[in-house]
Structure 1
Amino acid sequence: MQDGFSDADQAQALAAHGPELIARAWAGHLGDHDPATARQVQFQQRPGAGTSIVYSLRHGTTELFVGLTTEVLDDADGPHLRRVQLASPRGRPGAGTLAVASWLHPHDPRLPGLAHAGVASEAERLWGDGDRLTRLHTVTYRPLRRAVLRADFATPGPLVSTRRVYLKALRPAPAADLALRHRMLAAAHLPVAPLAGEVLHGVVATAAMPGESLSTTLLHDGGARLDPLALVELLDRLPDTVLSLNRKPSWADRLARYAGAAATALPERTGDIEALCSRLRGIIAARDPGPVVPVHGDFYEANVLMTGTRISGLLDLDSVGPGHRVDDLACLLGHLAVLPAVNTRYRDIWPVIERWGTAFARGVDGANLHARAAAVAISLVAGARRPGMTSWSRAAQARLDGALRLAELAG
């Protein structure tokens, strides 16, 4: 956090002054791309750390992406960084100077591998294994944190075969840790993606997995064919070897931080958010979370693959390690509760939440489970903000309503 500027101040300053900051940072280096055409395509706010926004500048059929952040970066974050100062941002006269760093995509200062994974010629050279790259697509990008790209390859012939590789660009140390987690879970015969080579430039490459996400299965039949205890059994298979890994805080542990971000997104609901969090803290503090066991750490419907009624894949292993089982199950329920705010086709998800919650409560404290699930839903409120989305405030309200409804189930 930069002194004198709250999370909301930083977000508002970047949004209000983005084109001006780009023009100052990259004067003479943008070619025919006019900063006045800058359009937000990515917004990320990390409570207590800063705000990052990626802008698109179009010229004809070409597009240039420029990142801006108020996070504090040092000189070790790469040679491609430009720095500018914003004195007295709009709406904050006399507040002091806000430091902003900028980069041109794909030279993310914290993700050195993105300049390799995000460039077609480099992706083909490093991960093609002699095959031809036919398509490179960005699946997700969180500035300064991670990027996932999907690379499709084809053999040169005469018999053409295709394969798909996912390239996950991280900081070098977390990348090595992620590869270790893949090896640990593969050794325990869990359905995880096989590594497609060694870690290169902080990029973890994995082969594609069969199946469709649990979120798609829920759309098809409301989860009627899936016994929720099969999800518990999958978690039971996590090996004890992961208990030696670093433990990461749960959403309940970070409730105050996420509540602050939610209040920044919905200032008119600050009172409701504070009252809800006070209630959740009381429930969580009074309940035993259970023993420390191996956990996935980010266990929700998008990270579980299904083939028919069988679980065929477990994705995103970055947070695997020691923790409490109740937090894995709460993560799933918390994400399910906000699905209607993401896609109205999930409007009938609440019977699933109640049925699965009842099943999960056979192994963990039910009140604690739903209170922690509400904490997860609160952590997702601020994420409703999307560049160019005029209705994001309504989506954030709906996510908060999901948290309130989970709190009611907590008693």
Structure 2
Amino acid sequence: MQPGWSDAEQAEALGRHAPTLIARVWADHFDARVAGTARQVQFQLRPGAGASAVYSLRRGTTEHFVGLSTERLEPSPGLRRSDVPGPVGVDRARIPLRISSWLHPQDPRLPGLAHAGVAATAERLWGGGDRLTDLRTMTYRPLRRAVFRADFSTPGPVVATRRVYLKVLRAGQAEPLVLRHRLLADAGLPVADVLDPVAHSVVATAGLPGTALGAAMRLEGAGGVHPATLVSLLDRLPAAVLDLPRHPSWTDRLSRYAHAAGSALPEERRGIAALADHLRLVIDAHDAGPVVPVHGDFYEANLLMDGPAVSGLLDLDSVGPGHRVDDLACLLGHLAMIPALGGRNFRRERIIWSTLQAWGTEFSREVEAGSLYARAAAVAVSLIAGARRPGMRTWNREALARLDVARRLAELAQ
């Protein structure tokens, strides 16, 4: 966070100055015509840390990407900086906003991006002699993490294919993730095998069979999945997980996410703050239960299904000690959000909420219902600011729909 600048002001300033800043800072790489094609394709606002974005630039048929961030970054090769002034007539005019910039894939906090995201390097490191046939970005959060999907095939004469996922992490995060995979694999849970090498803060894992639970939800509500199946999966998390560092839950960061939601929807700022205060009171009034092994990010995108059975458990970065109620609330909060995600999702609202109430009843046999729904509402609050996406004109409408979900879940916590 840069002194004197709110989260919303940093985001606004970054977007307003980005084209001019790119043209000035990267004048030795892009002429004015190319710089003028700058288009935001990725945006992320981290409350209390700053705003980051990725811009696409076109040079003929070639596309280039430039990263920008208001976060405080240590000097590194390829990182350039420029200051932009504050609004005229405001004291902040004497405190310029520093914006750092880099050429993709030289992300200053993701050293492995230049390895996992470059076809020749990915093939050499993780191909095992096979030919890389496709390398696709699944997700990229500037300065945080990235995931690539790599498809390989044998050279023949009998062609076999395989899929590998390359998770790019910050320095020091790869080894702890590998440990979590091994702990859960040894306990018999359906987690992906880690592939060698673990290098450049990149963890490569084999693909797992199955369909994401979210896809089943969109098609047929519960998708034939009994909630007790999901509870039993959590029961299988090994006790050794309790020795790992504890990650804060969505509930622990409620005030931060409420602030981000208020920045995204300034006209709703007071109402969001009041909702967060109410949720905190309800949460504090209920027993969270004992500290047990938890997944930490337990929701439909991280659960692969083979019919009614779980065939894969993904995204183990937050596995550690915590409260069971937070895992179950995370699942309900994301489930409730599906109809608010735009497109055809809204057509599934009736069946999704019917499933949510049935699952909530089952989960309430494990944890206190008031705590469960209040924490699910806190998860929903954490998702409001994420509605703001580049090129999406209706993001404000979606953000309001997400806020409505949080309020509906809060009502169930009464």
Q: Deviations over 1:175-227 (max 9, x none)?
A: 11111110110010100000111311000000000000000111222115111
Which residue of structure 2 lines up, in the alignment, with residue 347 of structure 1?
349
AA in 1 matched with 2:349: R
Runs of 5+ unmatched residues, structure 2 = none
Structure 1 match to 2:385: 382
CA distance in 2, matches of 1:231, 1:259: 29
- What is the TM-score with the length of structure 2 in the denominator? 0.97
Alignment partner of 2:68: what SS?
strand
Which residue is 2:277 aligned to?
278
Structure 1 counterpart of 2:81, one-letter code: R
Counterpart of 1:229? Answer: 228
Q: 1:316 aligns to what SS in structure 2?
A: coil
Distance 1:90 1:110, change over 3 A: farther
Amino acid at match of 2:382: S
Query: In 1, are the aligned partners of 2:167 and 2:203 still within 8 Å (CA)?
Result: yes
Per-residue Cα deviation, 1:230-262 (whole angstroms, up to 9, x for no partner)? 100000000011111110111111111000000
The alpha carbon displacement at 1:399 in A equals 0.5
- Pick one of 406, 409, 412 that aligns with 1:409: 412
Equivalent residue for 2:257?
A: 258
* Partner SS for 1:297: coil
| CA contact 1:244–1:322 (8 Å) conserved in 2 | yes
C-alpha displacement of 1:23: 1.4
Instruction: Give the distance between the partners of 2:130 and 2:327, measured in 1 at CA.
Output: 39
- What is the deviation of 1:61? 1.1
- The Cα shift of 1:308 comes to 1.1
Once the two structures are TM-superposed, the CA of residue 91 in structure 1 deviates from its matched residue by 9.3
Q: Which residue of 1 aligns with 2:137?
A: 138
Structure 1: 5+ residue stretches without partners: none
Deviations 1:100-153 (A, max 9, x none): 100101111000000000000000000000000000000000000000000000
Residue equivalent to 1:39: 39
Q: 1:26 maps to which residue?
A: 26
1:122 and 1:91 map into 2 onto residues whose CA distance is 51
Give the aligned partner of residue 163 of structure 1: 162
Matched to 1:7, the amino acid is D
2:78 aligned residue (77, 80, 83)? 80
Q: In 1, distance between residues paired with 2:164 and 2:269? A: 43
Residues 288-332 of structure 1, C-alpha deviations (whole Å, 9 max, x = no match): 100000000000000000011111000000000000000000001
Distance 1:201 1:303 in 2: 24
Greater shift, 1-10 or 220-229, is seen at 220-229
Q: Counterpart of 1:215 in 2: which secondary structure? A: helix
> What does residue 359 of structure 1 align with?
362
Task: Determine the structure 1 residue equivalent to 2:115.
Answer: 116
Cα distance, 1:303–1:345 mapped onto 2, change above 3 Å: farther
What is the CA-CA distance between 1:346 and the residue it aligns to? 3.2
Q: Following superposition of structure 1 onto structure 2, how do residues 290-305 of structure 1 map, counting pairs within 5 Å?
A: 290-305=289-304
Sort the Cα spacing of 1:223 and 1:81 in 2 relative to 1 into closer, same or farther, 3 A. Answer: same
Distance 1:5 1:200 in 2: 37
How far, CA to CA, are the matches of 1:322 and 1:236 in structure 2?
A: 13
Secondary structure class of the residue paired with 1:393: helix
Residues in 2 aligned to 1:193 and 1:32: alpha-carbon distance in whole angstroms: 46
**Cα pair 1:292 1:323 within 8 Å, conserved:** yes
SS at match of 1:149: strand
Question: TM-score, normalization: structure 1?
Answer: 0.97
Give the total of aligned pairs: 409
Q: What is the CA distance between 1:172 and its match in structure 2?
A: 2.3
Q: Alpha-carbon deviations, 1:309-362, whole Å to 9, x = none?
A: 111000000000000000000001111121111133432311111111111000
- Residue 44 (structure 1) shift: 0.2
- Separation in 1, partners of 2:32, 2:174: 36
Change (3 A) 1:30 1:187: same
Counterpart Cα distance in 1 of 2:84 and 2:157: 58
Mapped contact 2:84–2:99 kept (Cα < 8 A): yes
Distance 1:372 1:90, change over 3 A: farther
Q: Secondary structure at the match of 1:66?
A: strand
Alignment of 1:7-26 (within 5 A): 7-26=7-26
Instruction: Return the match for 1:399 from 394, 399, 402.
Output: 402
SS at match of 2:30: coil
Give yes or no for contact 2:185–2:191 (8 Å, CA) kept in 1: yes
RMSD of the TM alignment (CA)? 1.3
- Cα distance per residue 1:142-173 (max 9 Å; x no partner): 00000000000010111110000000000121
8 Å contact kept, 2:125–2:197: no
In structure 2, C-alpha distance between the alignment counterparts of 1:315 and 1:224, rounded to whole Å: 19
Change (3 A) 1:91 1:67: farther
Aligned to 1:5: 5
Paired position in structure 2 for 1:334? 333
Q: Counterparts of 1:207 and 1:264 in 2: how far apart (Å)? A: 39
CA shift in 2, pair 1:359/1:220, >3 Å: same
User: Structure 1 156/128 Cα, relative in aligned 2: closer, same or farther at 3 Å?
Assistant: same
Contact residue 51 and residue 70 of structure 1 kept, 8 A? yes
